[in-house]
């Protein structure tokens, strides 16, 4: 896919977070070249004047470093998360190094740093990550084969590369976790993902796919075109999604508890039920 790249002067770079586990959040880019079919962040197009399809544009915040205040003490020991509506290691980061330069800035204040990515490019910055006393890196994994990942997350690293990334983080004593989410019905084999990764990580996070509106349409089209044997199951799932997620949530908790697996659940389907 051709990516429209725009260098921008952003107005802010570190903002107060409304995520449950972070005080501040940093998004070095607008848009994301991973182009995941289930991406929840595509709403950003509305706020940033983009009409292009999600995944086909990216704005690079070239002034990111200058946007940090001179006195950064207030971030010391606060939890800082990269990133909520982009991948800080999307393909542009290789050339622009915006995330790398942000990390250099943050070392002096030692926040509680948390980074989540689907890219092996993060291994480039292991030297900096090792400088943080409190740092955790998550790799998102939603499927267990390179072929499926290529369909779901065409711009991201393959699953083999993500496993190698976890291994490298582990070997460098960087606390790593796997974010299994959004869990896609009948596609995300979370038990298999746990088996593939458990040697390298200290925790798992689980999130259900919030399939609604255009996200549901795009995911359903992807299923129809690439996993046609699941088409009818997806229709059934959609009609019974709260029951499906109740069972999935309960199965995960039971499995993790019985196998002594450190885990956190981010299932929000009960909110769907209320609406």
In the chain, where do the E strands start and end?
4-8, 14-16, 24-26, 29-30, 57-61, 79-82, 112-117, 135-140, 175-183, 203-208, 263-265
User: Binding of ligand SF4 at residue 86 (CB under 6 A)?
Assistant: yes
User: Binding of ligand SF4 at residue 162 (CB under 6 A)?
Assistant: no
**Which residue from 14, 22, 36, 106 is in contact with ligand SF4, where contact means CB under 6 A?**
36
User: Binding of ligand SF4 at residue 34 (CB under 6 A)?
Assistant: yes
Instruction: Give the Cα-Cα-Cα angle 211, 215, 216 (nearest 5 degrees).
Output: 55
Instruction: Give the Cα-Cα-Cα angle 256, 258, 262 (nearest 5 degrees).
Output: 35
Binding piece for ligand SF4, criterion CB under 6 A, among 5-13, 34-42, 131-139, 267-275? 34-42
Query: Would you tell me how many other CB atoms lie within 10 Å of the CB of residue 24?
Result: 18
User: Is the CB of 14 or the CB of 39 nearer to ligand SF4?
Assistant: 39
In 24-77, where do the E strands start and end?
24-26, 29-30, 57-61
User: Binding of ligand SF4 at residue 114 (CB under 6 A)?
Assistant: no
Residues 6+ apart with CB under 8 A from 213: none
HEC profile for 68-89?
CCCCCHHHCCCEEEECCCCCCC
**Which residue from 50, 59, 81, 87 is in contact with ligand SF4, where contact means CB under 6 A?**
87
User: Binding of ligand SF4 at residue 151 (CB under 6 A)?
Assistant: no
Indicate the SS3 state at residue 29.
Answer: strand
The answer to whether 118 touches 83, Cβ cutoff 8 Å, is no
User: Binding of ligand SF4 at residue 230 (CB under 6 A)?
Assistant: no
In whole angstroms, how close is the CB of 86 to ligand SF4 at the nearest point? 5
User: Binding of ligand SF4 at residue 209 (CB under 6 A)?
Assistant: no
In whole angstroms, how close is the CB of 218 to ligand SF4 at the nearest point? 12
User: Binding of ligand SF4 at residue 184 (CB under 6 A)?
Assistant: no
**Which residue from 41, 62, 168, 253 is in contact with ligand SF4, where contact means CB under 6 A?**
41
User: Is the CB of 36 or the CB of 159 nearer to ligand SF4?
Assistant: 36
Binding piece for ligand SF4, criterion CB under 6 A, among 2-10, 35-43, 62-70, 96-104? 35-43
Query: Would you tell me how many other CB atoms lie within 10 Å of the CB of residue 18?
Result: 8
User: Is the CB of 39 or the CB of 194 nearer to ligand SF4?
Assistant: 39
- Using CB under 6 A as the criterion, which residues of the chain lie in contact with ligand SF4 when the complex forms? 32, 34-36, 39, 41, 85-87, 118, 153
């Amino acid at each position: 896919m051709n990516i429209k790249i725009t260098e921008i002067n952003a107005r802010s770079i570190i903002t107060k977070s409304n995520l449950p586990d972070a005080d501040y959040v940093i998004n070095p880019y607008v848009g994301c070249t991973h182009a995941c079919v289930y991406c929840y962040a595509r709403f950003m197009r509305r706020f940033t004047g983009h009409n292009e399809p999600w995944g086909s544009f990216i704005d690079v915040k070239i002034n990111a470093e200058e946007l940090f205040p001179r006195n950064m003490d207030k971030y010391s020991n606060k939890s800082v998360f990269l990133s909520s509506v982009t991948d800080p290691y999307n393909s542009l980061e290789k050339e622009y190094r915006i995330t790398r330069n942000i990390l250099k800035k943050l070392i002096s204040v030692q926040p509680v740093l948390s980074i989540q990515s689907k890219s092996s490019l993060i291994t480039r910055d292991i030297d900096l990550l090792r400088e943080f006393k409190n740092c955790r890196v998550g790799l998102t994994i939603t499927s267990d084969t390179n072929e499926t990942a290529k369909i779901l997350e065409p711009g991201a690293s393959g699953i083999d590369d993500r496993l190698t990334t976890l291994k490298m983080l582990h070997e460098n004593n960087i606390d790593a976790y796997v974010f299994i989410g959004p869990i896609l019905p009948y596609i995300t084999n979370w038990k298999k993902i746990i088996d593939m990764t458990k040697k390298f990580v200290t925790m798992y996070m689980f999130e259900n796919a919030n399939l609604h509106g255009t996200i549901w349409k795009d995911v359903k089209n992807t299923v129809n075109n690439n996993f046609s044997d699941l088409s009818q199951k997806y229709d059934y799932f959609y009609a019974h999604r709260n029951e499906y997620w109740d069972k999935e949530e309960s199965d995960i908790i039971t499995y993790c508890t019985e196998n002594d697996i450190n885990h956190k659940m981010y299932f929000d389907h009960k909110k769907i039920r209320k609406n």
